[in-house]
Amino acid sequence: MNETAGLAHAPRLASNAGPKMSARDVHVFYGTTEALKGVSLDITTDEVIAFIGPSGCGKSTFLRCFNRMNDTVASARVTGTITLEGEDVYAPTMDVVQLRARVGMVFQKPNPFPKSIYENIAYGPRIHGLARSRSELDGIVENALQRAGLWTEVRDRLDEPGTALSGGQQQRLCIARAIAVDPEVILMDEPCSALDPIATAKVEELIDELRGRYAIVIVTHNMQQAARISQKTAFFHLGDLVEFGDTRQIFTNPRETRTKDYITGRYG
Ligand SMILES: Nc1ncnc2c1ncn2[C@@H]1O[C@H](COP(=O)(O)OP(=O)(O)O)[C@@H](O)[C@H]1O
Ligand SMILES: [Mg+2]
């Protein structure tokens, strides 16, 4: 395959100075209800961060702040600061389409476009002008599918609809689609909750392989999953970030009573 095809091949410039993204005192309101109550957190490229906590505690709400997905919710209002490489994500000058390519998202339910497997991947690179020719685009598509661990399964059926794949394959297709535009951050909101254990294991393996190249944040209600795949864990409760630290510490020696109660299954 062509080694110069598209940005996905370019070595990423090291940018070790500071976090990839920062949230400072972020509040989110839905109408008058405060769903997130002043959360600060840094996201770095060398680790997977898991967001855990009981249903309704604000995990998805917070995750969606990082690529302004809350903009699509009419009643949502976000205050505080979120930066990407020091740049204010909520600045009026921010190009939200560009932002969502740089900060990609994978949802709970696999949502391939009603198009071919090839087109699912090619769509983003095409609208972002990442390929100068069909062969470059082919290279980007192959590379993204390779990285998502899906290439050998779909190489002979690229013209088939993405929706014809199994659920686990569809989710890896959605991850490949996010990767194809060479994001810096990948946000995943319970990406395995609709998958069976084998498909889940494949996605977990994939997340581990992607670690280091992309900053990855994953919301999960599955504490075993958080323990398996993340290096840092953030525990949320009723809109507060209660505790954030090394995953091992959070699960073996939590500092906060609320964290301990949650991981020992007292509520949740
Ligand atoms: N679109 C919305 N409109 C109004 N309230 C919402 C909306 N989305 C979430 N909420 C509320 O915000 C709180 C946090 O929800 P959410 O971020 O989805 O929690 P989690 O992902 O941790 O389950 C909940 O009380 C939920 O009911
Ligand atoms: Mg959620």
> Tens of pLDDT along 219-234?
999 999 999 999 999 9
Which tokens belong to 172?
Answer: 């890896």
Please tell me the residue having the least CA distance from ligand 1 atom 14: 58
Ligand 2 centroid to residue 247 C-alpha, Å: 20
- Structure confidence by residue, pLDDT tens digits, 111-133: 999 999 999 999 999 999 999 99
CA 73 to ligand 1: nearest atom? 1
Categorize the per-residue pLDDT at 18 as very low, low, confident or very high, splitting at 50, 70 and 90. Answer: confident
Ligand 2 centroid to residue 11 C-alpha, Å: 34
The amino acid occupying position 2 is N
The amino acid occupying position 222 is N
- Structural domain spans, the chain: 7-18+45-64+95-263
Average pLDDT, the chain: 93
Dihedral sign of CA atoms 196, 197, 202, 204 in order: positive
Categorize the per-residue pLDDT at 263 as very low, low, confident or very high, splitting at 50, 70 and 90. Answer: very high
Phi, psi of 222, rounded to the nearest 5 degrees: -100, 105
DSSP for 159-190 reads TSBGGGS-HHHHHHHHHHHHHHT--SEEEEES
Ligand 1 centroid to residue 138 C-alpha, Å: 40
The amino acid occupying position 229 is I
- In 3-state terms, what secondary structure has residue 79? strand
Give the range among 9-23, 32-46, 157-171, 236-250 with minimum mean pLDDT.
Answer: 9-23
Residue 200 has a pLDDT of 94
- Mutating to test ligand 1, I would choose from 30, 32, 107, 223 the residue with most ligand atoms within 8 A of its C-beta, which is 30
Q: Which ligand is nearest to the CA of 62?
A: 1
Q: What is the rounded average pLDDT of the residues 87-113?
A: 96
Crossing angle of helices 134-147 and 117-127, in 10° steps, is 120
The amino acid occupying position 85 is E
Q: What is the pTM of this model?
A: 0.92
Checking if the pLDDT of 33 tops 50, the result is yes
Residue 207 has a pLDDT of 95
CA 61 to ligand 1: nearest atom? 17
Categorize the per-residue pLDDT at 17 as very low, low, confident or very high, splitting at 50, 70 and 90. Answer: low
User: Quick one: 7-18+45-64+95-263 is in which CATH superfamily?
Assistant: P-loop containing nucleotide triphosphate hydrolases (3.40.50.300)
Nearest to 84 by CA among 38, 24, 34, 11: 24
Checking if the pLDDT of 107 tops 80, the result is yes
More confident residue, 5 or 176: 176
DSSP for 18-36 reads S-SEEEEEEEEEETTEEEE
- Structure confidence by residue, pLDDT tens digits, 135-184: 999 999 999 999 999 999 999 999 999 999 999 999 999 999 999 999 99
CB 40 within 8 A of CB 23: yes
Ligand 1, CB cutoff 6 Å, lining residues: 30, 35, 53, 55-61, 73, 75
Nearest to 233 by CA among 212, 214, 213, 254: 254
Give the range among 1-10, 77-86, 155-164 with minimum mean pLDDT.
Answer: 1-10
Which tokens belong to 30?
Answer: 């839905």
